Every structure is written in C-alpha cells, then in structure tokens.
Structure 1
Amino acid sequence: MYLLLSIFLFITPFHVEQLLKKGEISEVEKECKGLEDESFFMGEVNFLKKDFNSALSFYNELPVSSPYANDALFRMLLIKEINKESLEFYAEAELAILMGKFDKGIKYIQEGISRDSSTYSYAASLLSIAYEKKDDIVMAIQVLLDAVQLEPNNLLTPYLLERAGILCVRMGRYDDARDVYEKLCASFPDSPIISIVRNRIKQLP
C-alpha cells in the first residue's frame, strides 16, 4: 500500500514513499508538494491524521492513470464502509506500526474491533502486518486464517488468503501454501488476483 530516494536536490515519489513507510507524515506533507501524485500522498497524510473527509477529497483528485490509483480506491472504500470510530483506531494502529510501535498498534486494532466486530477482516490484515514485523510469522498467518473462517465471503478474503500463502512460503510450509492458494482459486475464481495466485502455485517446489 506505500511506495518510491532523493537524488541530489530532486524529490521523487520513491523518496516520499520511503518517508511514508517510516510514518514521517510531517515530512511527507512537506516533500510531496508539486509531485504528480501529490494528491495521493496528501490523502495518506490526512488518513493517518484521521481527517477522513480531507483524505477522501485528495484521493478523488488522483488520476485513474496514477500508479497509486488502486491504493486510493481501497482507502476510499475503507472510509465509506467502516464506521468512523473504528477507522480512527485503525489509522492510529497503522501509524504506530509504521513507526515500529507494534504492540501499541495491536492494542489500537483490538480497540477498533471492539467498536465494530464486522470490520474484523480489515483488522486482521493490519494485525498480520504487526505480527510479521514482530517476527511472529505463525501468528501473522493464524490471524489471517481466523478472519477467513469468520468472514468467508468478505471482499478482503481473497487477499487475506493470498497473504497467508505468501507467509507460508516464507516459512517453508509449501503444502500449506498450496492448500491456501487452491482454496482461494476454488472459492474466488473471478478474483482480480486469480492469475497471480495460479502462477504462485506453479512456482511452488
């Protein structure tokens, strides 16, 4: 979801992306000025500041040809579908995770779930990232699979399964990865990521 180094005095999207990945949103706000994808980065800044209306406005300004268009559409979906109270906790969680405060991020996610349990699939995607960064890959996989079991028809389910498969491969659990990928293909044959997943299956040892 975050993206692209400064060369001499030239600011590039990569440089701003790296600042965003570290949670340096004040620097992002300053450095993105004048970039072609400024509206995306400003959307991210406002999302992480929990100013969701402003974030929506910036995301709406982004051209569909932008490499960040899908990321912006996903953010817009979250803002429109998740209640504001839960989303505030998730934005806090995401910023904490970006800044390396993983346990704090997990607490925010748990607060978000407690406000609205129907947001669990999205919460699980954040939890998985937090556990992965804590080097607890087993838990990172488990929270994804738990979410799939709890909400099998959620819009995010194919992506959670794909992520679980990727993490299984990282652990050398190739049979588990195959099972997860094949479940995804069987349950969501029309998913936009289906061709990617089938290719992942072919690449398994």
Structure 2
Amino acid sequence: MKLKTYAPLILTSLLLIFFIGCDSQNKSEQNQLDTKETLAQLDVLLGQLEKLEVTGCKNIDGIVIINEKIRGLIENIRTSKKFDNLVDTFNKNQHRIDLVVSEDEQFAIFSWETKMDCLGNQIKNIALYKTNEKVRVSSLYGTPMLYREISQTELNHQMYYILGGNTAENTSKVTQKIYKITNGYIEEAQIPLQELSYNKKSLITFDE
C-alpha cells in the first residue's frame, strides 16, 4: 500500500528532474545560438560598413546608424553565460570585428574602425568585464585604439590588465594602456615599469 501511495510522488519527482535537465540543456544551446547569431550580425554590419564611401562625409547618416547597431549588439551581452559563450565561440580568423580577451576571461575589448573620420571618431572600443557575477559594459577613456593583446598581472591583490594596440594615426607604433576594476568599475591605472619587468607574463608581445 505504501508503495502505491508514494508511486505518483516518485513519478512526479522523476519527471520534474527530467524536465529541469532538459530546460537547462535547452538554455545552454540557446545561449550558444544567440552568441553565434550576434557574431554573425556583427560580421554583416561590418561588411556593410566597409562598402560605404566616406569621402567628404558621404553616407555619414548610414555609417552612424550601422555603428549604433554594432554598439547595441555588443552592449546586449549582459550575462556571464553569454560572455563565456562569446569567448568560446569567437575566432579572430573568421570574424570581422577585433576582440581580445584576458587570460582569466574576466575582461574583453571589442574594437572596430567606425569610418566616422569626419566626426573625429575613427575607432570605437567597448569593454566587457565581469564583476559581482554580472557583466558590465563600458567605453574606454582616452584615444581609441585597435587593441591586439591583453596581458595581466596581480599586484597587492589587485588585478591589472595591460592592453596593447595601435591608434588610427600611427598604426606602426604599439601603445600600452593599463586598466583595473575597482568596486565594479573600470578605470585607467599605472604600474611602475620595474614591476612590469619582474612579471614576464605582463609584457605585451605581438605576432610579426
């Protein structure tokens, strides 16, 4: 009698476990699809941008609209799961946009050429970083650059991210910038050169 009494409860529990497992798998697969779709849309938009003539501020309205769409897609990456899927999915040899990710996979920078030269905005950077189990989005202060590498070093229990890239005005010169995340916000920082020299992992190196 007891077995008959508990049988419906056991069956219900098993079905609940099954559906929860299926739901988690479906969400994971959906996140991966969303990430691939985001990268595909970015490729399409950047392809459209490359085809537009910019001489004399020609097509500037269309160029601004495309850049706003690119920004919107990137700023929609707001969860750790989407961030992680982005890191796993992105291939610099297959996508038009530039993305560099830190070794600890907590910090990433998107960079692209906006073609808004006549507005004084040739390059756009958007940073994504994890803090308090969330993903925050931020522009970077200072001159925008096409970032090619991120390295990192920890000093006094603070993680510093060293970015290396090129400005639009000087594509041959490598410029370094250092950032840290404090109280959930990203800010530019400085590290004494002797500290950098002690930590070989923090030194930026570029492929020829």
TM exceeding 0.5: no
Q: Which has the larger radius of gyration?
A: 2
Write 1 or 2 for the structure with the bigger share of helix.
1
Write 1 or 2 for the structure with the bigger share of strand.
2
TM-score of the superposition, structure 1-length normalised?
0.27
Indicate the structure whose relative CO is greater, using CA pairs within 8 Å and at least 6 residues apart: 2
TM-score of the superposition, structure 2-length normalised?
0.27
